[in-house]
Structures are given as structure tokens and as C-alpha cells.
Amino acid sequence: MSKYITTPIYYVNGEAHIGHAYTTFIADTMTRYEKLKGNDTYFLTGTDEYGQKIEESAQKAGKPTQEFADEMSATFKTLWDNFDICYDKFIKTTDEDHKIGAQKAFEVMYAKGDIYKDFYEGHYCVSCETFFPETQLVDGEFCPDCGRTTSVVKEESYFFKLSKYEDKLLKLYENQPDFILPRSRANEVINFVKGGLHDLSVTRTSFTWGVKIPASLNDDKHVMYVWLDALLNYITALGYGKDDANMKYWPASTQFVGKDILRFHAIYWPAFLMSLDLPLPKHIAAHGWWTRNGEKMSKSKGNVIAPKDVADVYGAENLRYFMLREVPFGQDGDFSQRAFIDRINSELSNDLGNLLNRIIGMSSKYSDFEIDSVDVEKYHSKELDAMNETLASLDGFMQKMQTHRYLEELWKLFVIGNKAIEEHAPWVKMKEDKKDEALGTVALVANILAKASIMLSPIMPKTTATIADALNFKINNDSYKKLICDKKLLKLFNIKKVPPLFPRVEEPLMQEAPKAMPDDKPNDKMKEELLQKDDSGLIEIGQFFETSLKVGTIVEAEEVPKSKKLLKIQVDLGEESPRQVVAGIKEFYSAESLPGTQVCVVANLKPAKLMGMMSEGMLLAAKDEEGLCLVRPEKPKKAGTPIG
Ligand code: ME8
């Protein structure tokens, strides 16, 4: 089966930071996962180089625009190369082939009557490359997305008949409920479309740094609106309009984007494709936003994290692991060195690294490094069953991009391995002259490590290749089929010593960002100020809306053993699976009384561990001297209904 996976093409007006890296890591992971399973997979990334914003950045840098774009684009490419991102193509929108493809697409849409010429007058934000109606401006002047000043622009323009596709788009969201992932994000898109779509201005005459519209239109003062040419990159990269050889990969299986550009990908993009009579992508998967220590990253604050700086001190693959493990796909995430260090020490070093060292140590003592799986089934059928069950559950998580759950489950294998060692104590068995049993346990753990490495390889390809080398096998589709699909065990081999894979980290290795300096650029500050408390202690409405409150329906509730206060509750928030919330309400509510009732949930809290259990939200409750009561909607509402 063939697959096609894409990242957004990144603007070249600034260097990549960990937000860009996150998107690229997930797409790379998914590609490696599909390849591991034997699927012919094509992976595209690249840079978005046209538009007024890039032209202005080049002017500021005092460079010709193309030279500036080439240099900046190269910084992205080098970065991804340093991270071993396995892209098949790195597209630059200034590539000749891209221009040809984009012009061809424009011609097709025009010939179909979906593009027509008219005049446009509106408020334009250069930074977002977007027009806004006056009603959406902040204080009648500022861009609602980035806070920068907009300017009034009146120009002749070609328009794309977006309004024509309103019903078709609504049908798409209905018939293909996984078109937008996570599903919880679909509502904002559907509501936007239901609010009515205006035709989209798709050319500009106020600047020249763009793809010219086709010569056949004989109107060479128009260049394409950057979002039109940018979105088309996903097909021009496959040769659309030129050499169609790679169009066999279309439609894309998963197109990863950040939530900031979901609207472009879930509305404009399918409408363009419908106009071109091309099939639609299977999934547009939108992830959340990364902050640093809870703050938005911005150049003016000096707190932008360059992926290379992190990789240099903490390790490139540790960073991939952390980012994919830390955040449920779709939710916002925070980069804090403390959280990163905790995961390196407890999960990578303790759980995984130590397990490998333990069996290398034991096999060197008991069997001169020889490992044989012959006695594993005899002594460890229980562990093998548990291991196979866990392995079988993994695919479902990856298909839904839930890398955090995938890794959480995968880590259960190391618990099985460690527990088997404790319970069977091979060192005791050796003393009791039960060498077969001792070696059976060592071999069980070797097999656990081998299978876990295969499944971890899309996230940590190099590290797992080292583990596989120690276990004398290679990670590829063959070993995946044998060890994972056919549940086979490793053949007799000699284990090799490896250098420590995950040295413990004792203290933060990077300097924390300085606090914002008073000479911050006013434009960048503007939005921050909108979001900050003023002296009155009052907050802006935007601050309130940063908290995502939703109606939830309790599906299950159970007592937490040994806790006087806590209940473990599964709440349906209209997402793929219920969320687990651990709430301190046991003194006021019995577990049996809760299922089927509704609650109000803070849905975008960072997940936290309470008594070792993950809690992914908070229930709203009111408490006074008479006790506590949960806040509930007055009438039943659909699970996931936003409150606000
Ligand atoms: O929007 N957290 O390019 P862009 C998480 N050229 N992800 C982040 C992030 C953060 N703090 N910051 C950036 C564009 N990203 C257009 C795309 S596609 C046809 C055209 C990631 O350079 C995230 O994937 O502004 C986001 O969608 C993307 O970078 C925006 O990159």
C-alpha cells in the first residue's frame, strides 16, 4: 500500500524552532512507522518562499530576495539533515517545477470557471498574508491573529469561488469524520464554514514576489496569493502539471499541520482539490502549540528554542522522544527542561537503559554472553502473553497519531521485563543450579528489548539500531514481520556490550531564557500586552478563552485505592477516547453515582500525575463550608460542547 505524508512548508523569514521540529518529528516518525510495516511511503517537507513577508524580510537583511530565501531554506534543510529526517523530497516553492505545477493548477481552475476577476478592498495583514473584514479587526486596526497593524488595500484581483464549495465541504466533514484529526478540532472548522464562505482573493498586484499567474491569461501584473501556491506544493512536489510519475502517491494519507493553519488546510485546500477534480487527503492532522516554560516563544522575548541547541546538549533522539511522549496529539505542550530531564532519567535511563545493561551483565556472568530463547516459553508464557497483548495495541495509537499513548503502552514492556527479573531472580536460580530458568528469564528480557526496539525505532531510529546491534539483529520490515507480526523469538546469539545509551542528566544543561527586555519591538509586544493582566487585576476576554472548558459525560468512575480523596474518572469529551481525570471528590460523591452524569471540564490543562495516575483535565466544582458540588450544565449537552 502506498502512503504520502507531509509537513507544512515553513516560511523562510525566520529560523526553525522546536515548534517546527515537532511537526517534522511526528511526520518523520509516521513515515518510518509506515515503512517499517512495509508500506511504500513518500515523505515531503520544504520551505514556503513567496509573499510580501519574505520580500520584506529579505529587504531588512539587505539581500536579494532569492538569495535570502535560498540561504534561509538551506538552514531548514541542514537542520532536518542533522536530525536524520527521512524526507523523500525537500520542496522549495521557488523551484521551477513548482511554478509550472501551480500555474497549471490555476489554469485548470480558471478553465472550469472557479477563478474569476474582480476588485478587492480590505484590511490586509502582511505578516499573516491574510485579508480580514473590518468587524474582525482589534480596535478597528490590528490583525486579530498576530496583533500587528493592518493596512487598507484595494486592488484588482482574481477570486476563487470558495462559496461554491460550502456544501461539498460540509458533506466532506460529515462523510469523512476522520478528515480532521483530532476529531475534537473539527467543530471549529465546521462552524467557520457554516458561518458562510466568501470567495477568496487568490492573486496580488501590490508586489511581485510570487508565482506569476499563467501566461495564457495575458495579465502579468498578477502574482498568486502565497497560500494558493503554497498549498499546491503538496501536489507539485509529486510532479503535478509536469511529470506526473509520483502522482501515484496522491491522495496524501496524512498531512500534518499546526492548529494555526488548520483552516487553510481543512477548508481552502480541499476546495482547491475539488476544483481540480483530485481526490482529497485522508487526514489533516492538526497538533497543538508549544510554549517554553508556559510562555509563548517569540524572538523579541529571546526565548525561542533552536532545536539544534537542545539536541547538542540533550541528544537529538532524546528530544524526539520527549516531544512525542510529553504531549497528547492535538493539545498544547510546554518545553521545560525539568520535564525533559525527568523523562530522560526515569524513562530512558532507568526503564530502558538499565534493563539492557542488566541483561548484558547477567548474560556475561551466566552464559558468556550467549542468549538462547529455547526456554522462554516454558518459564514465561504469562509474560509472553502480556507482551504480545501490549504489542498488538500499539498500531491503534499510531494510526490516531497518539504518540504519547503509543509510548506509554510501549513502556509497559519494560515493566514486564523488570518484574520478571525481580520475580524470577536469575541470580538465585543460578545458585540453586537452575541455570535453564535463569537463562530463560534473561532471554525473555532480550526478546522484550528486541521487540520494543523495533516499535520504538520510528521515534528513536539510531538508538534502537544500537540496541538491535547489541542483540545481533537489524531493524527492518523483515524483523518487524518475524518478531512483531509472527511473534517469533530471537534465535541463539551472542549479546554485545554497548556504551551507555542514556546518561543521566543531573541538572539543566541549557541556560534559561532571559526575561523580556524593555526594548522589545512594539509590534511583537502588542499581542502579549493584549493577553497580559493590567494593574486593575482584570483580564482580557482573550485570557479567559485561553482556558478550554467543555461539557463532559462521565463514562466510568472508580475509587483510587489507599486514597481518601481521589476518584479515577473516565470522561467523554467527544474525542476519540474518553479522558482520564483524577479528581479529589471522593468525600462528596460515590464512584457509582457518577457514570452517566455530566460535568464541566478544563480540557487544556497540562496532563499531570496524581498518585502515579495520569490526569488529563480538571472538573469544575464549587466548595464552601457545607461541602463540595460539581458544576454541571443545566440541561444535558453533547459531550465536548465548548463552554464560554
Ligand atoms: O504557516 N508550536 O509556515 P510557518 C507548534 N508557510 N508548532 C509550531 C510552532 C509552535 N510554537 N511554531 C510553528 C506557515 N509551528 C506556512 C505553511 S503549508 C502549505 C504553508 C509549526 O513557518 C506548525 O506546524 O509559520 C505550524 O503550523 C507551522 O510550524 C507554521 O510554520
What is the Cβ-side half-sphere exposure of residue 198, based on CA atoms within 13 angstroms?
A: 8
Residues 6+ apart with CB under 8 A from 84: 316, 461, 462
Instruction: Answer yes or no: are the C-beta atoms of 103 and 111 closer than 8 Å.
Output: no
> Residue 592 C-alpha to ligand 1 middle, in angstroms?
45
**Rounded (10°) CA dihedral 309, 310, 312, 313:** 120
Nearest atom, ligand 1, residue 297 CA? 11
Read off the pLDDT of each residue in 460-480 and give the average, rounded to a whole number. 98
Nearest atom, ligand 1, residue 265 CA? 19
Report the DSSP beta bridge partners of residue 284.
180, 255
- Convert the pLDDT of each residue in 313-336 to its tens digit: 999 999 999 999 999 999 999 999
Nearest atom, ligand 1, residue 13 CA? 22
Quick one: which of 151, 146, 170, 336 has its CA closest to 260? 146
Read off the pLDDT of each residue in 430-439 and give the average, rounded to a whole number. 97
> Residue 264 C-alpha to ligand 1 middle, in angstroms?
12
DSSP string, 314-338: H-HHHHHHHHHHHS-TTS-EEE-HH
pLDDT of residue 543: 62
No. of H helices and E strands in the chain? 22, 26
The Cα–Cα gap between 180 and 254 comes to 10
> Residue 435 C-alpha to ligand 1 middle, in angstroms?
57
The CATH homologous superfamily of the domain defined by 547-643: Nucleic acid-binding proteins (2.40.50.140)
| Mutate which of 235, 254, 261 for ligand 1 pocket (most atoms within 8 A of beta carbon) | 261
Is residue 609 pLDDT above 80, yes or no?
no
- Convert the pLDDT of each residue in 356-369 to its tens digit: 999 999 999 999 99
pLDDT of residue 141: 87
The Cα–Cα gap between 42 and 250 comes to 10
The DSSP element (H or E) to which 555 belongs, if any, is strand 549-559
Nearest atom, ligand 1, residue 269 CA? 19
- Domain boundaries, given as residue ranges, for the chain: 335-494, 547-643
Residue whose grid cell is 492573486: 203
The Cα–Cα gap between 28 and 77 comes to 14
pLDDT of residue 514: 54
> Residue 257 C-alpha to ligand 1 middle, in angstroms?
7
Report the DSSP beta bridge partners of residue 149.
142
Is residue 142 pLDDT above 50, yes or no?
yes
The Cα–Cα gap between 582 and 613 comes to 8
| Mutate which of 23, 264, 604 for ligand 1 pocket (most atoms within 8 A of beta carbon) | 23
Buried b (16+ CB within 10 A) or exposed e, 436-475: ebbbbbbbbbbbbbbbbbbbbbbbbbebbebbbebbbbeb
For strands 283-287 and 180-181, give the pairing.
parallel
Please give the residue that has the higher pLDDT: either 613 or 567: 567
> Residue 594 C-alpha to ligand 1 middle, in angstroms?
41
Residue whose grid cell is 475534537: 184
The Cα–Cα gap between 341 and 180 comes to 33
List ligand 1's pocket residues with C-beta within 6 A.
8-11, 19-20, 22-23, 48, 230-231, 233, 257-258, 260-261, 289-290, 297
Is residue 140 pLDDT above 50, yes or no?
yes
Nearest CA to ligand 1 atom 24: 258
- Convert the pLDDT of each residue in 51-93 to its tens digit: 999 999 999 999 999 999 999 999 999 999 999 999 999 999 9
Read off the pLDDT of each residue in 624-639 and give the average, rounded to a whole number. 89
Q: What is the 3-state secondary structure (H, E, C) of 412-443?
A: HHHHHHHHHHHHHCHHHHHHCCCHHHHHHHHH
Is residue 518 pLDDT above 60, yes or no?
no
Q: What are phi and psi of 518, to 5 degrees?
A: -65, -25
| Mutate which of 18, 45, 48 for ligand 1 pocket (most atoms within 8 A of beta carbon) | 48
Is residue 242 pLDDT above 80, yes or no?
yes
Is residue 380 pLDDT above 80, yes or no?
yes
Is residue 643 pLDDT above 70, yes or no?
yes
- How far CA 560 is from CA of 282, 578, 584, 590, 611, in Å, comes to 40, 18, 10, 12, 9
> Residue 239 C-alpha to ligand 1 middle, in angstroms?
24
Instruction: Answer yes or no: are the C-beta atoms of 330 and 286 closer than 8 Å.
Output: yes
The Cα–Cα gap between 420 and 1 comes to 38
Nearest atom, ligand 1, residue 47 CA? 6
Nearest atom, ligand 1, residue 291 CA? 11
The Cα–Cα gap between 153 and 231 comes to 23
Identity at 302, one-letter amino acid code: G
- How far CA 129 is from CA of 9, 204, 219, in Å, comes to 15, 11, 22
Residues 6+ apart with CB under 8 A from 61: 68
Buried b (16+ CB within 10 A) or exposed e, 260-281: ebbbbbbbbbbbbbbbbebebb
pLDDT of residue 574: 86
> Residue 635 C-alpha to ligand 1 middle, in angstroms?
39
Q: What is the 3-state secondary structure (H, E, C) of 357-390?
A: HHHHHHHHHHHCCEECCCCHHHHHHHHHHHHHHH
Read off the pLDDT of each residue in 390-405 and give the average, rounded to a whole number. 97
CATH code assigned to 335-494 = 1.10.730.10
Residue 524: pLDDT band (50, 70, 90) is: very low
What is the Cβ-side half-sphere exposure of residue 218, based on CA atoms within 13 angstroms?
A: 0
Work out the mean pLDDT of the chain and round it to a whole number.
Answer: 92
Nearest CA to ligand 1 atom 21: 20
Residue 121: pLDDT band (50, 70, 90) is: confident
Quick one: which of 516, 350, 380 has its CA closest to 442? 380
Whether the bond into 251 is cis, omega within 30 of 0 = yes
> Residue 186 C-alpha to ligand 1 middle, in angstroms?
19
| Mutate which of 5, 9, 18, 20 for ligand 1 pocket (most atoms within 8 A of beta carbon) | 20
Q: Would you state the cell numbers that stand for residue 192, as one nine-digit string?
A: 467557520
- Convert the pLDDT of each residue in 540-567 to its tens digit: 665 676 788 999 999 999 998 877 888 9
Nearest CA to ligand 1 atom 18: 8
pLDDT of residue 522: 33
For strands 40-48 and 89-92, give the pairing.
parallel
> Residue 30 C-alpha to ligand 1 middle, in angstroms?
18
> Residue 20 C-alpha to ligand 1 middle, in angstroms?
6
- How far CA 490 is from CA of 487, 610, 612, in Å, comes to 10, 38, 34
> Residue 260 C-alpha to ligand 1 middle, in angstroms?
7
pLDDT of residue 298: 75
Q: Would you state the cell numbers that stand for residue 449, as one nine-digit string?
A: 528489548
The Cα–Cα gap between 643 and 637 comes to 10
Quick one: which of 361, 360, 355, 375 has its CA closest to 439? 375
Buried b (16+ CB within 10 A) or exposed e, 367-380: beeebbbebbeebb
Q: Would you state the cell numbers that stand for residue 606, as one nine-digit string?
A: 497540562
pLDDT of residue 238: 98
Cα–chain center distance at 606:
15
Task: Kindly state the DSSP code that residue 295 receives in the 8-state scheme.
Answer: B
Quick one: which of 189, 131, 133, 190 has its CA closest to 160? 131
